[in-house]
Structure 1
Amino acid sequence: MVKYAKYILIMFLFVMSVVVITYGYNQPVVGDQQEVETNFNYINQIFLESSRYTQKDQVDQAVLDAYHDDFILGFSSQDLLDLGFEEMFDTAELTVYFEKDSFSMIVYNKITNYLWSSRPEFQGLSGVREDNTATRNLMNSGLWVDYVRSQNVSSSTISTASLYTLAEAKYLTDGSMTDTQTDPLSPYQLEAGSYSNRRVATSVEKNSNTLFTVLIDLKEIDVKFEVQISLINGTLSVYIPVQTIEEYGDIYKLLSISIFPYLGAAREDNIPGYMMIPDGIGALVRMNKAHNTTFQAQFYGADFGYGSSSIAQLSVPIFGMVHAQEENGYLAEIEEGAEVTSLQAQYWGNNSRYHRIGSKYNVRRVFRYIINKAGDGNDTIDEALTESNFKINYNFLSNQNASYVGMAKVYRARLIERGVLTDNEKTLDNQIPIHLSYIMSDTEKSFIGSTSVVMTTVDDVYNSYQSFKASGITNQQIQLNGWSRDGFVFQAPYRSKIANKSDYQDLFETIKAEGNTVYLDNDYVQGSELTNRISYTQDVAKTLSRLKMERNYRSLNAQVTEVYYIYPEESYKFAQDDLDFYQDLGVSGLYLSTIGSTLFSYYDQQNYERQESMSYYQDIVSMYDQILLSRPNQYFYENLSGYLDMPITNAQYDYYSDLIPLIPLILKGSISYYIPYLNFNAMGEDRLLTMVDFGMNPSYLLTEEDTYKMRYTNASLYYTTTRSDYEEEIIETYEYVNGALSSVIGASISNREVLDTGFVKVTYSNGVMIYVNYNYEQKTLDGQTVEMRDYKVVLG
């Protein structure tokens, strides 16, 4: 009886709790609703003020006044002469001064009456000694080297030294500025005779009015090389020919050379402005906060050959700094040697009073040499130096060009001058392009071997193409995945085995006859244990540690697949073998999924650098007149027919202050670029507004069959693809985005302004202006009213 009583009591309590919860849910209070709405607006405002968006350039007037009054350099010609500087170049725009013993540079911008220094200026303002002699010697020299002892190679024993460090320079004062020590030159003045020419020797040869050469002999570590500095058409260039680097001793080995690591360094929060980092789609770091950290990443991504990894992806070899928006700035471009160069930044904090950004030219790197299967080994270096020269160009920006938009425009102009960018946007019937990718088939494991799972047939693609065309979408760029009998995910490089070849040929002819293009998916860089075409022993590349370049991929359903990187030479052979097949099939070109963003060193009887991979990959891409690449590095821009999967963010480090559309600013008007598949858009209409803001074209991944059918295939990672589920959305999305971007096809972005938080104005070269309002309220600014969460096009 007691048992039944307990049971009744438990049931009664359960029913009452449900009633209470239900009652609470169904009885909203008006005041609570208002609080929720208020909180929502507050949260959205905080979101718009985050680093996920570009922020308005506004500086407190007191800060700006203090900067103009106290933190703009005022060296006179006599000051520079007293510090040992010599005038090297003088043009209508710039005067360049150079001091050879410290390898320091002062650049005077005549347009804005502004001095740039390669040293951190305003030292000693705290009134006390700020750094020890070793740190001061790094700060006050514009050339650093990293090196190791030949008999003690290790990542932990790398030494960093400047010219002053090696010369054992000593200072007259402790560098502090006090009531009795007021000379602004004192932090840089050396004790007479303290710079040892027996340890370091520098000399300058004036080659012409536009070029001089610095001969550097680091006697202390037995290394010498030449640095050529030129000023042509307003661009200051620093060039190191690798053949001039000579190691004439046996004790030390050179690892890297850094040029002007403190150029434009900003002291604490006294210089309003920012650093531009080309991470992902683009990032800014505003110099108004202490971050107490550093940044380092290789251009063109991490090098798997060294086992390195990086969240940041620097696909273009540029960086920059602005001192007060639309006043002064510079853009630095690595024209040669970007594949062996790293970007480094340090932010104001406990270890430094300065924000700084610069590059490091890695002539060789430390890696692990493995001697047995247990993974034992030792750190070592390659005996040979890199084969890449190093050239960095500095463009000093004035007034309105002193911004991230100005930087992008300057770099875009350089690429156009070199023939890298041309007018190549995909346009048809004055419509923007849409990228529609179809999964034809994949394979799933069966009792014996595997079974093909057909998701879309050739007829299905044809019907879909005609259906979208009937809905008014005529500019379709079609991509077919899983077209080979091998399947799709992890099966590349695919064998040229195709069912119903004539059907494919007919489809391709139809699409091309109407001015559109159709691409087949393949991957010649990555394979896997499931690939039928590659040999693990012969084709899978080795790292410099002589280990196979492989990694494990774990799918959503917990399947683990070994993924491999293929020797670049073998990649080229695969691509060459397939060329006749594609040409006979009549396809427009290929989509290569990995080659665009992958670059690695490797071992194959000897060590090969990344430029060897780059050369093979460029040869592969150049085989085709039409090519699509995913997130490609800059060295592929000349070959691109379309840029897929454009990143919509960056690494989102906590010190990033703004997201900027750097890549769109460079490419708009020259190359059609597409957002990652909108099937997987978790940001809703916010993503559509970003597309309009950044000039990005839509992209979808589709199947005719229900996605559920491929649940046991590796393509299951694409968890929602059914065309019938998306057709209406695709049409609506396309019409919405096309309504804005069709008016700017072929036009470049001439300016982008954040008028207010979440309210952006983008101006194009054809005079069209597009206003984008990310806010949940109507905005009226610049004489234009834009509804909440919408855009407005104003024709020029």
Structure 2
Amino acid sequence: MYKKLSACLIALLLVAQPLLLAASATAEKAPRQMQQFTSNRYTQADDRGRAVPNANASVTDFDRVAENEHLILYVHPQSLAIKVKNKHTGYVWSSTIDQMENYRLNQSWKDFVDSAITIDYLNRQGKQMRESLISNGSDVKIEPQPNGFIADIEFMQANIKMRLSVELTESDVVVKIPAAHIQESKHTKLVSLQIYPFLGATFEDAVPGYMFIPDGSGALIRYDYEVAMESPYTASVYGHDAGYVAPPNETDLNPEFSASMPVYGVVHGVKQDAFLAIIESGDMYSQIMAYKAGLSTDFNWITTKFNYRYAYKQPTSRSNQSGTAIDAYQAEANRFDIGLQFKVVHGDDADYVGLAHSYQAYLKDRGVLTEKQGTNPLLRLEFLGAEMKEGLLWNSVVSMTPFDALPGFADELKQEGVEDFFFIYKGWYKNGLNGSLLKKFPFEKKLGGKSEIRDMTEDLEQQAVQVYFHTDYLKSLQGSAGLFNSIEYAKQINSRTIQAMRNELGYYYVPPKDALELAKQHADKYKDYGMERLAVDSISSQVFSVFNKGKQATREQNKDLSLETINVLGGGHADKVALYQPNAYAWGTTDKYLDAPLSSSGYLYVSDTVPFLQIVLKGYVDLYSPFMNFSSNQKEELLKLIDYGTYPSFYLTKESSHLLAKTPSRHIYTSEFSTWKNEIVHQYGVIQDSLGQVRDASIVSRDVLSPGVVAITYSNQTTFIVNYTDYPFTHHNITVEAKDFAILKGDQYRDPVNQ
């Protein structure tokens, strides 16, 4: 599939040469066939030729309150609107719109745009109302600080008080609202608030650039993208809180991704000016919202909404046989400090790659990302041991991959030259994968006994093959034999059981406190059987409030319990735990990210999909793809792995997958090792020759040279040119064949537009 490079190109690889990414690079292409590469499944070329108008630069009526080497901060004394001047470029970031009378905004919108804070609250009749800071002449008292200001605010109509602080720190603007300074009145209750929602807003397509949203691997909403937005992008950070809102049923062919990173970004002119917003605190109760021009207003804007009270459905009777319910709000407000950090960047850092580098540096500074200790394998092979089979009177178990099969598979692969891989073994527990998700021991006897599992682990250790044992303490299949020791399922605020659908199967969730206790009970047994490494499902990707009597816990508290559970299972060693699609707060607990997204949710208003997640993590946490044997286009997906710095994965069994037809794993339609062995060997060879050269390197830059052609440069001066198209791409006497890639070595990377 991937042809060897010509002798000329091989010579280039052996002798380090600069990578010259020139604008004159051309591709042989037919426009009709190339249209797919201008869709939002791919990344588009940037418009770097347009100057950015500094439309909101006026500081008339604003007070200059702070300045450092990089930034100047201005504040309006009544509205508390801010303007931030980047001293390196002269560009002014504004939280308001200058000459607002020239735009189609009614008074409510003008108040919203101009105000530092807008709140939603419940009045004494329980009706939700909105008040912006300047709507009713709020009482504002500003106190200057060495690097910014503090403002005490009283919303006059809502009779709600709070304190806002804004501070410059190097190249950042830090905004805070401490929980201790929020005061509600006797008759009004705070529901939510938004801070500086129009910071970085742009009018229609007057400014070249885009908004970055943390959807899947990452997505862009370009200002000049012609597809209209019919509803805003609204994503609860880390997904919806299932303690209030039932989890979405994952029955769609293209399910939505949750926002696993508490960040968003704004770019005004690629390689000109940009900022990254990081939700430092209050992230558990936040939503990221993006509006495109044409929806509500003629402006593009993106912000964070912080939720102090969630609405939920309260059944009108204990049995709820009628199915009727009333709308209700939390009686007690969520208590949390708000912390937003806006990292202002410019020049080469002013694009989604630079924003990813800013987030990466932020996580490194806080110890979340650390230098990798050792090198991880290039391939993940996940095997299903046993599965429950549904019966008319009772259930049985189907053995798909017994314990003693794995060492044989490892030996077969090594004989084919596949040396660097690891196994995950799931469904090893009694009754199989979905038969008893919580009760891990004893082993499923159809797979083998205690001696067989010890022999398996010892044999694989001698072959230098790591094996991770799958486990999940957070969810249990409805009707499984998973609950014991008086554990009850997690409950929502309305006393309903938290449950969800996935692959047409219903699951219940367990309180994280109980999950932690189960993990502690099993920790010694894992050690006794030589099960030193675990692949932990669910607990790092799902976090929710719990309202069981005597076990009430907030989302923040349950996040801490989940991290403690991971620590117990891994013994405090990140290299002993692999996690499935972990949220950002759990990245520091693992060195293997499983099922890393290679796409976005595909919203029509999104213009590009980008590997923001991969750029942040590459070189610190190794990423492994969703299962390649379920991909409809193996060749393109393998190219995307090279583009995204992600290693391949396969879901496998010894037996044919048709045996799973009447089991909860009936969606597995092709998995037999003997069927996929040759493709595994082939893909391993391709990845070894490509990503094997950048194992510990980080991504420095990524440029679209032509629709469907991308150049990715790493910190060790290795560059891949990936050609997704059906036509050869010629670049400086180097031809990259259709659906192929080339590898170049060089001492420097040069921007194609600046050639």
Does the alignment reach a TM-score above 0.5? yes
1:761 maps onto 2:711 in alignment:
yes
Q: 1:398 to 1:308 in 2, by over 3 A?
A: farther
Partner residue of 2:251? none
Q: Which runs of 5+ in 1 are unaligned?
A: 1-39, 168-199, 556-560
**CA deviation profile, 1:548-605 (whole Å, cap 9, x unmatched):** 11245564xxxxx432111221211221111111111112322122222211122123
Higher helix share: 1
Deviates more, 1:447-456 or 1:87-96: 447-456
Moved more, 573-582 or 264-273: 573-582
Q: Is 1:731 matched with 2:681?
A: yes
* CA displacement at 1:513 relative to structure 2: 4.8
Match of 1:423 in 2: 371
Distance change >3 Å, CA 272–CA 424, structure 1 → 2: same
Partner of 2:74: 97
CA shift for structure 1 position 493: 1.4
1:15-67 Cα shifts (integer Å, max 9, x gaps): xxxxxxxxxxxxxxxxxxxxxxxxx95453111010000000126x5xx25x4
Q: Does 1:577 align with 2:554?
A: no
Aligned to 1:146: 120
| Equivalent pair of 1:297/1:312 in contact (CA under 8 Å) | no
The equivalent residue for 2:471 is: 522
Partner of 2:331: 383
Amino acid at match of 1:111: H
Distance in 1 between residues matched to 2:689 and 2:373, nearest whole Å: 17
Aligned to 2:274: 329
Within-5 A mapping of 1:541-620: 541-552=490-501, 555=504, 561-605=505-549, 608-620=553-565
Q: Is the 8 A contact 1:73 1:114 kept in 2?
A: no
Identify the match of residue 300 of structure 1 among 231, 235, 238.
Answer: 238
Question: Residue 540 of structure 2: SS of its match in structure 1?
Answer: helix
Asked if 1 retains the 8 angstrom alpha-carbon contact of 2:388 and 2:435, the reply is: no
Q: CA deviation at 1:772?
A: 0.5
Contact kept? 2:140, 2:151, Cα under 8 Å: yes
What SS class does the counterpart of residue 543 from structure 2 fall into?
coil
In structure 2, the partner of 1:46 is 35
Instruction: Write the letter of the residue equivalent to 1:135.
Output: W
Q: Which has the larger radius of gyration?
A: 1
- Provide the aligned length of Structure 1 versus Structure 2: 697
Alignment equivalent of 1:242, drawn from 153, 161, 179 = 179
| Separation in structure 1 between the aligned mates of residue 118 and residue 732 of structure 2, nearest angstrom | 48
Q: Which one-letter code corresponds to 1:119 in the other structure?
A: T
Residue 202 of structure 1 corresponds to which residue in structure 2?
140
Q: CA deviation at 1:517?
A: 2.2
* SS, match of residue 507 in structure 1: helix
Amino acid at match of 2:540: G
CA distance in 2, matches of 1:476, 1:132: 61
Q: Residues of 1 paired with 2:601 and 2:391: CA distance?
A: 40
Per the TM alignment, residue 537 of structure 1 is displaced from its structure 2 partner at its CA by 8.2
CA distance in 2, matches of 1:550, 1:420: 31
From the superposition, tell whether residues 687 and 426 of structure 1 become closer, same or farther in structure 2 (CA, over 3 Å): farther
- Per-residue deviation, residues 755-786 of structure 1 (Å, max 9, x unmatched): 11111110111111111111111112366431
Deviations 1:417-451 (A, max 9, x none): 111112237626xxx52111111111213465222
- Give matches, 1:157-236, under 5 Å: 157-167=127-137, 200-207=138-145, 209-236=146-173
Q: Is the 8 A contact 1:274 1:322 kept in 2?
A: yes
Contact 1:242–1:386 (CA under 8 A) maintained in structure 2: no
Counterpart of 2:455 in structure 1: which amino acid?
D
**d(CA) in 1 for partners of 2:740 and 2:700?**
22
CA distance in 1, matches of 2:546, 2:686: 47
Amino acid across the alignment from 2:476:
G
| Counterpart for residue 45 of structure 2 | 56
Determine helix, strand or coil for the equivalent of 2:422. strand
- 1:86 aligned to which of 63, 71, 74: 63
Specify the SS of the correspondent of 1:547: coil
Distance, in Å, in 2 between the alignment partners of 1:302 and 1:758 is: 34
Q: Which amino acid aligns with 1:458?
A: F
Are residues 651 and 121 of structure 1, via their aligned partners in 2, closer, same or farther at CA, if it must alter by over 3 Å? farther
- The DSSP-based 3-state class of the residue aligned with 1:166 is coil
Question: Is the 1:143–1:258 Cα contact (8 Å) retained in structure 2?
Answer: yes
Show the counterpart of 2:643. 693
Q: Does 1:340 align with 2:285?
A: yes
CA RMSD of superposed structures (Å): 2.1
Q: CA deviation at 1:402?
A: 0.5
Shift of 1:370: 2.3
What's 1:789 paired with? 739
What amino acid is aligned across from residue 209 of structure 2 in structure 1?
Answer: G
User: 2: distance between equivalents of 1:371 and 1:602?
Assistant: 21
- What's the offset of the Cα at 1:112? 0.9
Which string of whole-angstrom CA distances, capped at 9 and with x for unpartnered residues, describes residues 713-744 of structure 1? Answer: 22222111000000001000110122110110
In structure 1, the residue corresponding to 2:115 is in which secondary structure? Answer: coil
- More moved, 454-463 vs 740-749: 454-463
Does 1:131 pair with 2:114?
no
Query: For 1:331, what is the secondary structure of its paired residue?
Result: strand
* Corresponding residue of 1:770: 720
Query: Residues 612 and 257 (structure 1 numbering): CA distance in 2 closer, same or farther, change over 3 Å?
Result: same
The one-letter amino acid paired with 1:266 is: T
Query: Offset at 1:162?
Result: 1.0
Distance in 2 separating the partners of 1:309 and 1:266: 34
Q: Which amino acid aligns with 1:133?
A: Q
Task: Say which SS state the counterpart of residue 718 (structure 1) adopts.
Answer: coil
Q: Does 1:283 align with 2:219?
A: yes
Aligned match for 1:643, one of 590, 593, 616: 593
Higher RCO (C-alpha under 8 Å, 6+ residues apart): 2
Question: Measured at CA, do residues 55 and 715 of structure 1 come closer, stay the same or move farther in structure 2, by a change above 3 Å?
Answer: same
Q: Gaps (5+ residues) in structure 2? A: 1-28, 249-255, 747-755
State the alpha-carbon separation in 1 of the partners of residues 745 and 482 from structure 2.
Answer: 54
Q: Say if 1:438 and 1:701, in contact at 8 Å, map to a contact too.
A: yes
Other structure's SS at 1:737 match: helix
Cα-to-partner distance string for 1:127-175 (whole Å, 9 max, x where unaligned): xxx22222211111121111112432xxxx42222111132xxxxxxxx
Q: Distance in 1 between matches of 2:710 and 2:38?
A: 13
Which residue of 106, 115, 140 maps to 2:92?
115
Q: Sort the Cα spacing of 1:605 and 1:773 in 2 relative to 1 into closer, same or farther, 3 A.
A: same
Partner of 1:534: 483
- Aligned residue for 2:198, secondary structure, equals coil
Tell me if the contact between 1:701 and 1:721 (Cα under 8 Å) persists in the aligned partners. Answer: yes
Contact 1:100-1:214 within 8 A present in 2 as well: no
Distance 1:112 1:353, change over 3 A: same
**For residues 381 and 585 of structure 1, what CA distance do their matches in structure 2 show?**
49
1:681 is matched with which residue?
631
- Corresponding residue for residue 106 of structure 1: 83
| Residue type of the alignment partner of 2:47 | Q
Contact 2:66 2:74 in 1 (8 A): yes
More deviation, 371-380/529-538? 529-538
Tell me which moved more, 318-327 or 775-784: 775-784
**Between 419-428 and 391-400, the greater mean CA deviation after superposition:** 419-428
Pair 1:444 & 2:389 matched = yes
- Tell me which amino acid in the other structure corresponds to 2:69: A
Moved more, 482-491 or 110-119: 482-491
User: 2:725–2:739: 8 Å Cα contact kept in structure 1?
Assistant: yes
How far apart are 1:376 and its partner, in Å?
A: 3.5
Q: Deviations over 1:162-194 (max 9, x none)?
A: 111132xxxxxxxxxxxxxxxxxxxxxxxxxxx
Code of the aligned partner of 2:312: F
C-alpha distance in 2 between matches for 1:518 and 1:599 = 27
Secondary structure of 1:304's match? Answer: coil
Q: 1:675 is paired with a residue of what secondary structure? A: strand
